[in-house]
Amino acid sequence: MNKTFTPLFLILAIAILTISFKNSDNAETYRSVYATGLNNYETEQRILLDIISESNLEDTTAIARIKQHINQARIVLKRADFWLRYLEPTVYKRLNGPLPVEWETEVFEKFEKPYKREGAGLTLAFLYLDEEHPSKDSLKALINAALSATAAYSADSITQELNTFHHFFLCNRLYLLNLAAIYTTGFESPDANQVIPELRDMMASVNNIYRAFNEDYTTTPLTKPYLDLYAAAVKYTFTQPTDLSKFDHYSFIKDYINPLYAINQQMINQYHVVSHNMIDYSLNKKANSIFSKDVYNGQNAKGIFLRVTDTAALAEIDRLGKLLFYDPILSGNNLRSCASCHKPAEYFTDTNTATALHYDHNNHLARNTPTLLNAEYNHLVMLDGKHISLQNQTKGVITSNAEMGGEEKEILEKIMSCKEYREGFTRLLKYTPQEKEVCFEHISAAITYYYCKFSNGSSPFDEAMNNHAALSTEAKEGFNIFMSKAQCATCHFVPQFNGVKPPYIGSEFEVLGVPQDTAYKHLSPDQGRYNVNPATETLNAFRTGTVRNSMYTKPYMHNGVFKTMEQVIEFYNTGGGAGKGLQVPNQTLSSDSLHLTQPEKSKLIAFIGSLNEKINFEKAPDKLPASTIKALNNRKVGGAY
């Protein structure tokens, strides 16, 4: 008698699907809250259009009335923000885009040319009203674009996500990250006076979403500890001043948002939440703190060795990478190594010169040597985002006529002339079956794997946020200034304090108007991102670097023009290059003064100092591998210049 057996994996799959879709037909309350949120926002936009139609834009009273209704519409939008940002982030730029044009290169698309994203909606409409002689048609076009975009959220491809619980916890994760990094900084709010009122209303409204979800999805609910802590967080916002500059961002994130994030991550794992959205590409399910170094994945430090997990093999990759990092064999003249410019004892940069020496040993390069620490937390590499991987960047520097002057084939031949290198990489070939012989990708990956291990350090600020240590009052107050009055956090986002904001899938570029000299006589001639992606918006734009360890990585800016942190802060305080009188028509930094006081500047520096990481630097190798080419055996550890 024949018997038919159902494979175990199929039984498990059916069980998971059963759990996933349970209650899908009963999610009426939850779906109703979603639909109501959309309808309310559409209604608010139509009211706004009517008000604009009947208003005289030459009348300041009329403009004030329109701004008031824009703020009301923002409140209604934020009540549905929980879903909208996550379910269709590109469309969201049409609802509330902070910039008229953004050039996107998300991590999952960075092999392609940057995409032009046009913004519209409430923020841009509010800002447009401050221009001279605003046009009624132009203003209405910004709102109509948002109204049209809102319809996308009613499409079946979006609303079907509401039929299972999976999207909810992923929406919630992004919502919590934005509470830490976006919602309290004024990043997309043109009126600082509205930031805290919007926050309070939004958080209270999300409570309604939570209740509706728990009512319909009884087998995968938000837990009581989460709901209790969230209720406390909402209450906390109402105990805080409405003035953004007086809001205690530090306590809000440390005592409420970061613990809520940990609980949500636990539920994501407990309920086996599955993502179908590329927006989750970089986020790590296993990280239970926003201030964990693995909260998101940036670069692949292992390169071609990506799948190597064997401890002994990784140790060998690290050993070879360290030798190569200090070995001038990588240069065309055998006199220059990676460590020549990225000096480990100086936090993998060079603090003694504005820009490093040219390969010719006479001139200087146009750009400052960036630290390699935390470089792996960028999706695009180099100050202009020229490279999409650390390995490409390594190869680019080695083969650059201005930097190391090497030639790929010749460099590989020289390395393989050294028995220690040849035998080491040959032993590792079994881990890279796609390559039958040692190639340049093995070399570059060993180097990146070596230096990336120094990016795992934590700072006093991280320790405090994770309740492992206390933080000085001055540093706490400095963080609150960083997040509010100083506007630093609108470009340097929690937790890496670089230009990668939630959901951490792209690197941002800013136009600051950096001068050629401290007298501000000329704008730096370096065109930055424009050389990679020519566009009006990218001229003089540079990737936003991390603030971490910056107290040790002077001089500052892409050209090393500033020697002290005080100079940097004063540059921002006076409105960048435009604020100093330079002609920078596309500057993204506000040209208005921040009016920071001297005590506030000192507190900012105290906070920045709290981001200095504990790093165990290593001694340089005692010697370099010997070569069968005698002329190579005079190489100096770390290079000669």
* Amino acid 105: pLDDT: 87
**In angstroms, rounded to a whole number, what is the distance separating the alpha carbons of residues 338 and 359?**
12
pLDDT value of residue 3: 37
Decide: pTM greater than 0.85.
yes
Stretch 505-516: mean pLDDT: 97
Please choose, from the candidates 411, 403, 427, 437, the residue with its C-alpha nearest in 3D space to the C-alpha of residue 320. 427
Mean pLDDT over 583-609 rounds to 97
Quick: pLDDT tens for 306-329.
999 999 999 999 999 999 999 999
Is the separation of the CB atoms in 513 and 585 below 8 Å?
no
Q: Structural domain boundaries of the chain?
A: 21-280, 303-454, 460-609
Average pLDDT rounded to a whole number, residues 497-520: 97
Over residues 220-243, mean pLDDT: 98
Considering all CA atoms of the chain, what is the largest pairwise distance in Å, rounded to the nearest integer? 93
13: pLDDT strictly greater than 70: no
Tell me the CA distances in angstroms from 333 to 192, 322, 634, one per residue in order.
Answer: 56, 20, 12
pLDDT band for 27, please (50, 70, 90 cuts). confident
Mean residue pLDDT of the chain comes to 95
Same fold across 21-280 and 303-454: no
Q: Provide the 3-class DSSP secondary structure of residue 394.
A: helix
Task: Quote helix, strand, coil % in the chain, to nearest 5.
Answer: 55, 5, 40
Residue 2 has pLDDT above 80, yes or no: no
- Condensed to tens digits (0 to 9), the pLDDT of residues 424-460 reads 999 999 999 999 999 999 999 999 999 999 999 999 9
Structure confidence at residue 10 as a pLDDT band (50, 70, 90):
very low
Give pLDDT tens digits for 538-573.
999 999 999 999 999 999 999 999 999 999 999 999
Measured distance between the N- and C-terminal CA atoms of the chain, rounded to whole angstroms: 82
pLDDT band at residue 251 using 50, 70 and 90 as cut-offs: very high
Residue-wise pLDDT for 387-405, tens only, equals 999 999 999 999 999 999 9
So what's the pLDDT on residue 111?
Answer: 86
Q: Which fold has domain 21-280?
A: A middle domain of Talin 1 (1.20.1420)
Give backbone dihedrals phi and psi of 511, rounded to 5 degrees, phi first.
-105, 115
Once rounded to an integer, what is the mean pLDDT over residues 496-502?
A: 97
- When pLDDT is averaged across residues 482-499 and rounded to a whole number, the result is 98
Residue 381 scores a pLDDT above 70: yes
Q: Choose the CATH number for 460-609 among 1.10.3720.10, 2.60.40.10, 1.10.760.10, 3.40.50.2000.
A: 1.10.760.10
d(Cα 215, Cα 163) in Å, to the nearest integer?
Answer: 14
Assigned fold of 303-454: Cytochrome Bc1 Complex; Chain D, domain 2 (1.10.760)
